[in-house]
């Protein structure tokens, strides 16, 4: 039987603007570890491997520090800002 679920964890997110500051902050396009290859500048390293990142996408940081990219329209349909 299919059941409905809602996300319960609070995440942190920042909309990618293509700035050098964000590229450095999130090591976008920079390989990590011993394995080095050429990655496009719009690549975000995630637990599942390299993920394409476009200006306007959201960089999400999960509860364990993991990161992934979400398209703007999907992000806005899935998340609401938490009042501080």
Contact 15, 26 (CB under 8 A): no
Enter the pTM of the model. 0.79
- 17-76 tens-digit pLDDT: 988 899 889 988 765 554 555 555 688 888 888 898 999 999 999 988 999 999 999 999
First to last CA, the chain: 37
Q: How far is CA 37 from the centre of its chain?
A: 21
């Amino acid at each position: 039987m299919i059941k409905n679920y809602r996300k319960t964890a609070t995440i942190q997110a920042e909309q990618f603007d293509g700035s050098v500051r964000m590229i450095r902050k999130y090591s976008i396009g920079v390989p990590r570890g011993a394995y080095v290859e050429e990655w496009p500048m719009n690549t975000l390293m995630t637990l599942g491997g390299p993920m394409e990142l476009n200006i306007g996408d959201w960089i999400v940081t999960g509860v364990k520090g993991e990161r992934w990219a979400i398209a703007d329209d999907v992000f806005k349909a899935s998340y609401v800002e938490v009042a501080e």
